[in-house]
Amino acid sequence: MDRKELREDYIELGKKVLEGLNSDFAVTSAFWFLLPDSGWRFVVATPVLDRDGPAKAYETLQTKLSAILGTDNSFINNVSVVSPSNSLIKLLKSAINTGPDSISGIRFTGNVINSQYIEGAYIYRIS
C-alpha cells in the first residue's frame, strides 16, 4: 500500500470493523492514522484497555475481529488499541468531535493541532 494514500478498501474495512465492534465492544474513537515511519495503523480507543489491561483488550478485540472478518486475522497486525485518555486521542478530540455513536468519514491530512503536525488520518469516530 502506498504510504501516503489510504486505499479505499482499507476505508471500507475500517468502517466494517467499527460497525461490528459497536454491538458489544465500547469504542470511543476509531480512525486510520499515518505513522511517518511505518505507514497506516487502525487506532481503536476503548475503556476496555483501562478496565481490563492491554492483554485482555487485544484478546477480546481479536475474538471480535474473527467474528467480523472471518478467518483473515491479518487485520489485527495493523491495529493499535489505546486508552480514551491517550494523548493522540486528546489531541484529535480538541479539533474534532463526531459524537459517541457516529461512523463518519473525515479525511484529516496535513493539519496542525496545538503545534502537532498530523500527516494523515481518516476518522470514523472521535468522542
The count of domains in the chain is 1
Provide the domain limits for residue 120.
Answer: 8-126
Residue 25 within any structural domain of the chain:
yes
Residue 120 within any structural domain of the chain:
yes
Residue 105 within any structural domain of the chain:
yes
One-letter identity of residue 43: V
Residue 102 within any structural domain of the chain:
yes
Residue 3 within any structural domain of the chain:
no
pLDDT digits (tens, 9 = 90+) for 64-108: 999 999 877 788 889 999 999 999 999 999 999 998 989 999 999
Residue 26 within any structural domain of the chain:
yes
Angle at 78 between CA 61 and CA 52, to 5 degrees: 30
Q: 0.85 cut: is pTM over it?
A: yes
Mean pLDDT of the chain: 91
Residue 97 within any structural domain of the chain:
yes
Asked if 44 and 27 count as a contact pair (C-beta separation under 8 A), the reply is yes
Residues 6+ apart with CB under 8 A from 45: 27, 28, 29, 30, 81, 82, 83, 84, 86, 89
What's the whole-number mean pLDDT along residues 33-48? Answer: 94
Residue 1 within any structural domain of the chain:
no
Q: Reply yes or no on whether the pLDDT at 1 is more than 50.
A: no
